[in-house]
Amino acid sequence: MLSSQIFVPLFNDDEASNLLSDVALVRALVQVEVALARAEARVGVISASAADAIGKVTVDHVDIAALTSGTIRSGFPIIALVQELRKQVSADGAPFIHWGATTQDIMDTACVLQLRATIKLMRERIGSIARDLSALADKHSATVLAGRTHSQQALPITFGLKVAAWLAPLIRHGERLEEIERRLLVVQFGGAAGTLAALGDKGLAVTSEFAKELSLGLPVMPWHTQRDSLVEFAGWLSLVTGSLGKMAQDIILMAQTEVGEISESGEAGRGGSSTMPQKANPITSELIVAAARMNASLLAALHNAQIQEHERATHGWQVEWLTLPQMIMLTGGVLKHAAYLAKNLQVDGAAMLLNITRAHDVILAEAAVFALAKRMTRVQAEELVKQACAVTVSEKQPLIEVVKKLAADSIKEGEIDWQALAKPENYLGETEKIIDQVLKSAEKLLL
């Protein structure tokens, strides 16, 4: 599905996919080999002239078909890559390509470079979504909506508060990403078994210069079989898609025909049916939920891939190849779709109020209990409102009118403002302040 010409727009994103393409991978691999040569020259492991010659190699002259053949033979593209690069370098410099490194050093560091580019794209996408959700939350900060618990109407909220609840996790994901980057974006360099023995007493110095050359961090040691940072990033991907999946699930439920409080967009034909002309299926939200659930499943594979033997492993690395790129592409697709929803969501405030009225204002039951509890015991108030709810449901009368009638013998005229109590907008608690807090916190994502 992630490479199908027909289905790829549903689950993938062109920009995210391009960052993981064969061309992007080879570019990163070459960049790493060049950086290593320059680092080794600065430390005195190889000559400056050799590093200069290696620095002139280009991706354009690397034969991808040769890498394919080499990968089939050895399981990795690096032997064939080194052979391709040596063709571009003079006889004096060619032997010093890949000096003291092992295949995993080059591939892991190239992976980190690709992840860095991916993170930049995702940060931009999350910022864009946060910007549009902030505007939506602000616009609808006073648009009254039935808050639902266990899928039943519970208390009045506003649509702005619901949007703020979609936005708040994205703020935390931005904070998490800053923390993860420090651990994730580091070079890999350990040689054959993580001792850097081929470089004598200059291995750590080369590692330091190597990191500087690529503008990456310096790990405390080679991490060939320590894959926790990659798994941590995968967990972040699943968290992001899970949070946006929650938003999409809410949209699906609110877009149901019987609810009709929102729709994904005003775009004609979007989500259409092949046989039912009336349909406008929430297909964008469906794709987000499907991808989020898939990411949650793929994450388990990466947790399993952490169990790697000794100093270099046999199969966990390949599990990462099969899994992490899928998660990145799925996340790219989710961010693309979520950005569309955040910008195009259609909100029907009148339908939101109508749904409260259709339920005969039972959403105000708690408000009625606390109003009555000022004039009678809490237990009496709860019992009276329970009675009123039963009457309301059976006789389809507005709850507050029923409460007023049942409380006539207990509550004197003027002790309760029944008219004010019957308005959902008067029982919103700290909703406005909570929205403001979220919007203020979101500003850091918008910089």
Cβ proximity of 400 and 355 under 8 Å: no
Element (H, E) at 149: strand 144-149
CA distances from 335 to 258, 280, 294, 329 (A): 28, 22, 15, 10
pLDDT of residue 273: 47
Q: Map residue 187 onto helix, strand or coil.
A: coil
Beta strands in 323-371 (DSSP E): 346-347
Which tokens in the block code for residue 279?
């349909």
Query: How do strand 262-263 and strand 152-158 relate by DSSP bridges?
Result: unpaired
What does the DSSP assignment read for 235-268?
HHHHHHHHHHHHHHHHHHHHTSTTT-SEES-S-T
Query: How do strand 152-158 and strand 144-149 relate by DSSP bridges?
Result: antiparallel
Alpha helices (runs of H) in 93-158, residue ranges in sequence order? 103-139
Cα dihedral across residues 396, 398, 403, 409: positive or negative: negative
**Would residue 414 be called left, alpha or beta, if left means φ above 0 and alpha means ψ between -120 and 50 degrees?**
left
pLDDT tens, position by position, for the chain (447 residues)? 778 888 888 888 889 999 999 999 999 999 999 999 999 999 999 999 999 999 999 999 999 999 999 999 999 999 999 999 999 998 888 999 999 999 999 999 999 999 999 999 999 999 999 999 999 999 999 999 999 999 999 999 999 999 999 999 999 999 999 999 999 999 999 999 999 999 999 999 999 999 999 999 999 999 999 999 999 999 999 999 999 999 999 999 999 999 999 999 766 656 554 454 555 788 999 999 999 999 999 999 999 999 999 988 888 899 999 999 999 999 999 999 999 999 999 999 999 999 999 999 999 999 999 999 999 999 999 999 999 999 999 999 999 999 999 999 888 888 899 999 999 999 999 999 999 999 999 998 876
**Terminal alpha carbon distance of the chain:** 35
Q: Map residue 154 onto helix, strand or coil.
A: strand
Q: Map residue 361 onto helix, strand or coil.
A: coil
pLDDT of residue 90: 87
For the stretch 144-152, contacts whose Cβ atoms lie closer than 8 Å and that sit 24 or more positions apart, written own/partner, are: 144/349, 144/352, 144/353, 144/356, 144/424, 144/425, 144/428, 145/261, 145/352, 146/352, 146/355, 146/356, 146/359, 146/363, 147/363, 151/253
By C-alpha distance, which of 126, 314, 121, 308 is closest to 230? 308
Which tokens in the block code for residue 277?
């002309």
Tell me how far apart the alpha carbons of residues 369 and 373 are, in angstroms, rounded to a whole number.
6
Q: Which residue has the tokens 């354009």?
A: 60
pTM of structure: 0.93
By C-alpha distance, which of 355, 225, 200, 337 is closest to 282? 337
Burial 107-137 (b: 16+ CB within 10 A, else e): bbbbbbbbbbbbbebbbebbbbbbbbbbebb
By C-alpha distance, which of 266, 238, 237, 446 is closest to 341? 266
Tell me how far apart the alpha carbons of residues 145 and 253 are, in angstroms, rounded to a whole number.
14
Which tokens in the block code for residue 444?
């850091």
Backbone angles phi, psi at 217, to 5 degrees: -80, 170
pLDDT tens track for 41-50:
999 999 999 9
Which tokens in the block code for residue 347?
């909100």
Tell me how far apart the alpha carbons of residues 231 and 186 are, in angstroms, rounded to a whole number.
14
Cβ proximity of 260 and 346 under 8 Å: no
| CB-based contacts of 81, cutoff 8 Å, min separation 6 | 26, 29, 30, 33, 62, 67, 70, 106
- What is the 8-class DSSP label of residue 30? H
